[in-house]
Every structure is written in C-alpha cells, then in structure tokens.
Structure 1
Amino acid sequence: MKDYQFFEFEDFLEDADFQRWIYRPTAQDTLLWNQWLASHPEKAAVVEQTRQHLLDIKGSVPVLSEDYISQKVAQIVEQAKVANDTPIKPLPVIRRFTTIWYYAAASVVLLLGLFWIYQIRLSASVRSEAPIYAQLTENATYPLLEVANTSKLPKKITLADGSTVVLYKNSRISYPEKFGGTSREVYLTGQAFFQVQKNPNKPFLVYANELVTKVLGTSFFVKAYEQDKDVQVVVRTGKVSVFAKTDKQAPQLQSSPDLGALILTPNQQAILKRTDKQLVRSLVALPVRIDLPQKLTTSFVFKQTPIAEVFAALERAYGVDIVFDETTMAHCTLTARLDDESLFKKLDWICAGTESSYEAVDGKIIITSKGCV
C-alpha cells in the first residue's frame, strides 16, 4: 500500500486505488484501508469527505464509465485550484452522449457548480472578518515564536516541554520559547496533530479560532482554518477538554489544573459550529482500535458468548462506552467472527443476532433491546 500519510482531499480524489476501494471494494482492500485508518485517525475526516464526493459523482447512474468519472474528478481538482482566484466557468459537456448520458452529466455539472459557488461565498464571508489567530497572538502577554507551513508535506515541531506538533499545509502555530507560569499555551490556525507530554500541574491549552482545547498529556488532532465554518477536535489517546472562548466559565476553565468542561475520550470528536457557537460531541466517522498495535490482529471470535462480554471486548478495543440494559439482555449470547469489520459493522452484526438496535448519542453507543429468549 502506498504512503497516503500526506494526502489531502485532491490527492485522494485523483488516486486510482482509492477510487477502486470506493467503487469496487474487495475484502482485502477494506482490510488494508481499515488498518491504515487505524494508524492515521487524523485522516478519517478527509477520507470520508472524499468518499462522499466520489459517490456524488457516480450518483444514481450505474453505467458511468471510469473515463467519465476520471474526467469529472479532474474537473473538480482543477476548479478547486482556481476557485478562490477566478470565476467559475461552466464545465464542458462531452459530445456524442446519448440522452441519458447527457442528463446525467448535466446533473453532475450543476451539482459541482453549486458546490463551488457555495464554497467561494462561504470563504469570502469568513475572510471578511478580522483573523482570530492574529487577535489571539497579538493579545498574548509573552513573546511568541511562529512556525508556518506553506509546503504540502507536514512539518514536525518540538516544543520546550518535549511535546510535539505535526503542522499540516497552510497552517501556522505560535508558542513561547519556554513555558512559564501555570499553563502551556499555543495558538493555531489550520490543522495540526499534537502529542503532549504529561504534566498534571501545568495544563496544555490550544487556542484555535473560537475553541479552546485543554489537556494534561495526550494526543489529539485539531482542524481550525480561518475560512472553515466549523472547528474540529479529534482525540486519539487520553482525555481532552474543549470549550468555547465565549463560555462564561472560560476564565476558570483555562486557569484550573483540572480538565472540566466537555470531556472527550479516544474515538470521540467535538465540533464547534462557529455561526451559533454550538459545541457538539460525537463519535468519529471511523472509530479505530486503541489497544496496542500488536493486539490489532486479535480475533473477535465469539461462541455462545454472553452479550455483556461481547460489549466489554468492544469497549476495550475502541475505548467507546456502550450503554445497555444488562437485565433485559441477560440471556443474549453471540456466535460470530467479527475480525475485519469496522466498529459500526460489528454492531450491525451483533444487533442483528440479538434483535437489538443501536445509535450513537453524545459520543456513546446506546443499545435498545427487547431481550432474548
């Protein structure tokens, strides 16, 4: 499998192997991609975004050829490169189409045109506001160093306390040469992956747009570009606290040595809607295994296993709370092999075998069941 670590939206969109996985997935491809995403959880959002775009291109017309899909992908990428600088031009219509092909292509062209018009208007609207990153760094009470990444490759930065930051393209981060006082504060615009050295006595705070992320020692991903309508935090290991700067308790939360506020654990994310300052906690789109790498090949093989033990195994592997009525499901057992499936696919099989259902609520899995005979 090639190195996708530095791929972004346009790169995934053009990649033939990625397209094959989306349009013609094999068990081997799915296993490889699940393993890769388990090692790169910070890429889950962009992978899901690209997947949705490729599915939109294909739409409901099952006979679209690979050449046609490739052409539309190329047009999307080209428009993405010039969208902020030049007006959107109509996409050319391929001649010699049948009537069905013509209308299918016209629908795709219309969809893409509307999407990019929306993106340009959204970017222009957000850019008209004063840059929050500049305000934050100007108001800092101590001198800051700044690192900017204008290249395509991520840039690794080591801070004074030994914490590391992987800074992605078109991103900037400001931080003090040495951390003084009672906290460790950095300022981000763009996206970065943090691995923070543990220090319970000196919390680590990341200011990104209107969101503050507070940790004592963990690894997490922050995406907060000035032009984005949302700010996203995804937790890989440990616990993270997030709160909006407009929160009335923000001053106390920033100065307190405890986490407080909205707590995130592995495979959970928080998204701050910048328009109404609404902060929402949820599970990530593709939860990954958090147990040790050498245990990733451990089989999920169950033979008349009590359902409580099945759910406990999932909780250990993914770090996700599974809430169910132990009394109601006391007689439920499972016989199945669930090695390669994703967490949600595992839950689909489990619920099918126990006549139950599940939903993700506030970063947890809630199981509803009438019980088993």
Structure 2
Amino acid sequence: MQERNNYTEIEEFLADESFHLWIRFADDQKKWEEWTLEDPKRAKLVEEARLWLLAMNVPESTMSKITVNDALESTWAKIKNKEKNNNQIQKSTIKLWNSNWIRGAAALLLFGYISTWIYNDYYFSNNNSNIYYELINKNREGLVEQTNNSNNPQIITLSDGSSVLLQPNSKLSYPKIFVGNERKVYLSGEGFFEISKNPEKPFFVFANEIVTKVVGTSFRIKAYTNQPNVEVLVRTGKVKIKSNQIIANSEEEEVVLLPNQALRFVRKGLTFHKITDITKDETLAHSVGNIEHLSFEFTDIPVSQIFSTIEQAYLVNIDFPKEKLKNCHLTTSLNDQPLPEKLKIICKSLGNNSNYEMNGNQIIITSDGCN
C-alpha cells in the first residue's frame, strides 16, 4: 500500500478497492485512518475523496478499477485533445492541468461519466429488481425463492411436474404447491420453461415488466434487471404476453406467440416488438441453446443416446445401469414434455422396475433392463 503515498488526485482514491471498503464498510485492514492522520494535507484530500464516494453511492463490486481507469483516461484524452487544438505547448498543458478550473472540468467530466454509468447499471437495475419484489410481496401463497449463484444452469422441478432450467445470476419464486385455478411463478433473470399441460389451470410467468400466460408449452424468458430488453422465445405451443399492471404508461396489449416466434419488450419506451422468424434476428439466433434446437423425436434409438441428448439439453448428469440397458432401444416423442415427464415416459417404456430420481442436476436411473 506504499503506492498510496503518491496519491495526489481524488480519482486515485476512487480506483483503490481498499479505500472503498474503509469508507463504505468501515473495513480498515489497510489502516487508512492511521495513514490519513499522519499528514493534515493528506487528510483534506482523503476527505474530498470520501465525499465523492459517498455521493456516488456505488454498490460494492459494481465499479471496477478498470472502469474508473477508463473514465480517467477518457477525461485526460479530452483535455489533451482540447489543448492540442488550441496549439498550446507541453508546459502550458501541465500548467493548465494544475490550474483549478481545468481540474474542476476533469472532475466534472468524470463525475458525469460515473453518474450516467451508475444510473444505467445500478439505479435502473434496482428499479427493475423492485418490480420483482413488489410482485412476489403481493402473492399470498408462501413462495420459495431459488437463486442460481453458480456458473451453470440449474434444474427446478415444480409441484405440477413443470420444469425450469434456471440460468446463472437468475432467481425464481414459486409456491411449494399450486393452489386455486392458476399457477404463478416469478422470474428475474433467464429461464427455459417446460410447462405441464393443464387447460383448466393456466400457468403465468411474471418476469419483471411482463406476464406470460401458457397452458402447456416450452419457451424461454430472458428478463435480467440490468439489460435494456426483456425477451420471450417460444419453442413449442403458444403463449400470450402482456405488460404488468405495475408498469405505468404501458399500453394494455396482448401479444400471441407461436413456435419459433419471439417478443422483445423494450424497457426504455415500454413497447412490444414481435419477431415472427427468430432466424432473421441475429441476437436471438445466436442466443438459442441446446435445449431449444435439439430434437426429442426418437425412432428406434438406443436408450444411452436418448440419455445423452437429455444431458446435452439440460446440462445434467444421468447415471444409469449401462450393461442392463445397452441393448435397449426406444421409439418415443418427448418434444413437448417437461424433464420429469420425459424421464417418466422413458422409465415406463423400459418397464422392469425402471425408475428415476432427481437431485438437482444429478439424475439416477434404476432398472432391471428393458421389456
């Protein structure tokens, strides 16, 4: 930490992670307080940096050192460019930089950059997060929240047999048991849904600003709080989408999507954009995952190959008795079935005491062979 002895600019303090910890969380492992009190001039600069940091109110880990350095480099480049245009010599540049007004201008540019960044990456994100929490607080079913903090997708099985492949940095709130005439879940982030068919009990996914209504189908919703758009892409079946009532000034419209169609909800203007052919949308075309393009139509296919397809699609591990099932082939259609239903159909087709057990992303198949 001897390098801080050379700090002469507020920006240098803002780029120091240990300084953030001390000011915001009173974590003084680097002995900032002791270092500050050693020199009255130093203390004044530290106080200015402290006020800047508190004014910005940036959450921990959201402002990286690279981000601040980029802002500083950009600011310095603008100043140098302006001085170059005015044909001033290098000494004038140094003198100008040391003058109060140019230092203020640099600070103003930096503050403007950081303020805009904070609004887009923090305030906007938290505003969308508030929608998610406001929605679940209105629910009276006693919800369970599952958060995926790992680097891999996680399978969630709901009480009605529906399944959700929840992506990293995403969360899903749902009741332990669906009651009443509707099934409601709440998503913030990204998930691929396969819904168990029940025409008398429609399924609703509340994903921040939008509500997706289905009966039995498979689709993906991408509703991260820090991204400008919310997207819904349908693989099978049909869905109906409209705005949440919480969203002010949004038009009360309903969009119907069929297979290979998508919808993009633009948050800035609260508008819907329907995409009738996802292959013509570059962003959507590149975002399609294994689970959305793999076929689950099997004609006289070895069971081991069927299990391999499921592993690729859901990113799960399937343990099964390879020797007992090595000569087993199946003909079946599993295209529009949630994962638990797929496994149930396979086990029923195999017979001979075939069963499955799911524990997170680990699936165990027990069987005495095939009929």
Q: TM-score range by the shorter chain?
A: 0.3 to 0.5
TM-score by length of 1: 0.44
TM-score by length of 2: 0.44
